[in-house]
Amino acid sequence: MEYNVAMTEDLEASLRGFLLHDPSEEDICFAIWFPSAGKNRFTAILYESILPESGDRERHGNVSAFPGFVDRAKEIAREAKGGLAIIHTHPSGSGWQGLSHPDEYYEKEVLAREVFGVTGFPLVGLTLAGDGGWSARIYEKLQGKRPTLQWCKAIRIVGKNLTVQLNNHDLPIHNLGESLIRTTSVWGPYVQSSLMRLRVGVIGAGSVGSLVIEILARLGVGEIVIMDFDKIRKHNLDRLLHATIKDVGKSKARLARTYARKSATNPNFDCVAYTTYSIVEKEGYVAAKDCDVLFSCVDRPWPRQVLNHLAYSCLIPVVDGGVSFKTKDFRLIHGMFRAQTVGPSRPCLNCLGAYDAGEVQMDREGAFDDPVYIEEVRKIGAEPSRQNIMPFSVGLSSLETIQFVELITNIGRTGDLGQQPYDCYTGEILPIHTHCKPNCEFSGMVAKGDALAPYLSRDISKNRETNSKKSRK
Ligand SMILES: [Zn+2]
Ligand SMILES: [Zn+2]
């Protein structure tokens, strides 16, 4: 199991502001965290800080929290039904910090046991160095056993940008090699090396997803997780990258993985293809929580809603895109594609109108696979259009991967490019910058992790069987 800590940019800034306010001595505080349990990665998501009041601590070069403060922090975490994290500083340190023997003894042998007893969650320990470098550990506690120290692999800070601080970020970066010279020269080897350690999920390996995967592989990302249970059909051949008539009937995810491995420029590239998982089912949802960033290349409202949920509750930014065409008697009335990135500090897919909340329930009930329902909505012209052309898929995959690059590298110095709609009548892309509506349920889910799970399908086989016409392997 890999361990991570994640927090929003806002919480990180306020913790840093408090803890490094007077760097002449060490300082201390606590935080509530919620779990986000993936298939191979467990993330402790920091939710809210618990700051000391006067008389709560003694600063004497080092710092000690008095028992009253520790007890209050444990009680606040218990009441919130979350875990407790202890955070202290090393003002003269830089980068990843180790743990002194007294610190390790106190965290592991004293506090971790007490905290597990009170909250039911393992203690999380963090150290903030004077240069803003975070390091983190989790004290895994099994029934009847002593807590064990597990160092986290990374700390993810999520907002307008995604910053991943790695526990070996002071080590020499990858040997980037000649194949990445042109890419690396745009943002430098440090940014490129963090890009080369990202695990990116692509949900849907259709016309847009297959192109996104190709671009990510060439950009040098560390790992791509592909999720699509669909098979290639003849009517995909006008848009699906690498697919030929010989591939009809084969798995879209597996085809994309084959070519991603061929195109990858990262010498340590890894690629996983889930050919039976769906994001609206538990296995797919859990596997998606292993990713640092997700691409939403789906065309249904329910999977979009689940991805929207993940972006806020589990702090995994989601890059989403959609294509819409309206035609009447072979005449185009409307043609548009748009890209947007959602997550903390950004408006959500629901508020951006990327899916219709009312249609989510119909999707859950299987209405979009029901021929009677499809005929009904077709009559009134409300059927979601499945029309698309390859140039739109290429344009959209380009916009989506540019949004991803901005999120990671900040080369445009905004982090957030807004919602970018391309209108085929005017040929313009006029970005829209907006906010979530008041009382948006998703902006209230930020950092709640598994404490607020989305509605998932209970009948694992039903969706897939109807969607992919019994294509399960
Ligand atoms: Zn220390
Ligand atoms: Zn919203």
CA of 152 to the centre of ligand 2 (A): 31
> What rounded mean pLDDT belongs to the chain?
92
Amino acid present at 133: G
Ligand in nearest proximity to the CA of 129? 1
CA of 48 to the centre of ligand 1 (A): 22
Ligand in nearest proximity to the CA of 127? 1
User: Which of 96-100, 270-274, 386-390, 408-412 comes out lowest in average pLDDT?
Assistant: 386-390
Angle at 37 between CA 472 and CA 122, to 5 degrees: 155
- pLDDT tops 50 at residue 128: yes
Residues with CB under 5 A from ligand 2 (ion): 348, 351, 436, 440, 442
Cα–Cα nearest to 467, from 292, 220, 284 = 284
d(CA 46, CA 39): 20
Tokens of 436: 């979530």
Ligand in nearest proximity to the CA of 435? 2
Instruction: Please tell me the predicted confidence (pLDDT) of residue 469.
Output: 44
Instruction: Please tell me the predicted confidence (pLDDT) of residue 386.
Output: 75
CA of 177 to the centre of ligand 2 (A): 42
pLDDT digits (tens, 9 = 90+) for 338-371: 999 999 999 999 999 999 888 898 888 887 777 7
Tokens of 236: 């995909």
Q: Is residue 82 packed enough to be buried (19+ CB in 10 Å), middle (13-18) or exposed (0-12)?
A: buried
d(CA 445, CA 165): 24
Q: Confidence class of residue 401 from pLDDT cuts 50, 70 and 90?
A: very high
pLDDT digits (tens, 9 = 90+) for 425-470: 999 999 999 999 999 999 999 999 999 999 998 755 555 554 444 3
User: Which of 51-60, 173-182, 328-337, 348-357 comes out lowest in average pLDDT?
Assistant: 173-182
Residue 150 CB neighbour total at 10 angstroms: 16
Ligand in nearest proximity to the CA of 351? 2
Ligand in nearest proximity to the CA of 357? 2
Instruction: Please tell me the predicted confidence (pLDDT) of residue 470.
Output: 38
CA of 99 to the centre of ligand 1 (A): 6
Q: What is the mean pLDDT of residues 31-59?
A: 97
Q: Are 288 and 241 in contact (CB under 8 A)?
A: no
CA of 3 to the centre of ligand 1 (A): 20
Percent of the residues in the chain that have a pLDDT greater than 90, as a whole number: 80
CA of 385 to the centre of ligand 2 (A): 24
Exposure on the CB side of residue 139, measured as CA atoms within 13 A:
29
This prediction has a pTM of 0.94
Q: Are 82 and 33 in contact (CB under 8 A)?
A: yes
Q: Confidence class of residue 290 from pLDDT cuts 50, 70 and 90?
A: very high
CA of 339 to the centre of ligand 1 (A): 44
CA of 337 to the centre of ligand 2 (A): 20
Tokens 């609206």 sit on residue: 280
Q: Are 288 and 308 in contact (CB under 8 A)?
A: no
CA of 311 to the centre of ligand 2 (A): 11
DSSP per-residue string spanning 217-286: HHHT-SEEEEE---B--GGGTTT-TT--GGGTTSBHHHHHHHHHHHH---TT-EEEEESS--TTBHHHHH
d(CA 171, CA 179): 22
Q: What is the mean pLDDT of residues 111-134?
A: 96
Angle at 204 between CA 200 and CA 206, to 5 degrees: 120
Ligand in nearest proximity to the CA of 104? 1
d(CA 156, CA 447): 12
Q: Are 138 and 167 in contact (CB under 8 A)?
A: no
Q: Are 40 and 223 in contact (CB under 8 A)?
A: no
Give Cα 137 to chain centroid, integer Å. Answer: 21
CA of 377 to the centre of ligand 2 (A): 27
Ligand in nearest proximity to the CA of 88? 1
pLDDT digits (tens, 9 = 90+) for 175-225: 677 899 999 999 998 899 889 999 999 999 999 999 999 999 999 999 999
- pLDDT tops 60 at residue 407: yes
Q: Is residue 363 packed enough to be buried (19+ CB in 10 Å), middle (13-18) or exposed (0-12)?
A: buried
- End-to-end CA, the chain: 27
CA of 432 to the centre of ligand 2 (A): 15
Instruction: Please tell me the predicted confidence (pLDDT) of residue 29.
Output: 98
DSSP state of 110: I
Instruction: Please tell me the predicted confidence (pLDDT) of residue 178.
Output: 86
Longest dimension (CA), the chain: 79
Ligand in nearest proximity to the CA of 25? 1
Ligand in nearest proximity to the CA of 93? 1
CA of 62 to the centre of ligand 1 (A): 8
- pLDDT tops 60 at residue 32: yes
- pLDDT tops 50 at residue 471: no
pLDDT digits (tens, 9 = 90+) for 130-148: 999 999 999 998 888 899 9
d(CA 473, CA 463): 15
Ligand in nearest proximity to the CA of 443? 2
CA of 174 to the centre of ligand 1 (A): 29
Residue 148's alpha-carbon distances to 104, 142, 143, 145, 328, in angstroms, are 11, 9, 12, 9, 65
Instruction: Please tell me the predicted confidence (pLDDT) of residue 473.
Output: 36
CA of 153 to the centre of ligand 1 (A): 19
Q: Confidence class of residue 381 from pLDDT cuts 50, 70 and 90?
A: low
Tokens 């002449």 sit on residue: 24
CA of 282 to the centre of ligand 1 (A): 39
Q: Confidence class of residue 317 from pLDDT cuts 50, 70 and 90?
A: very high
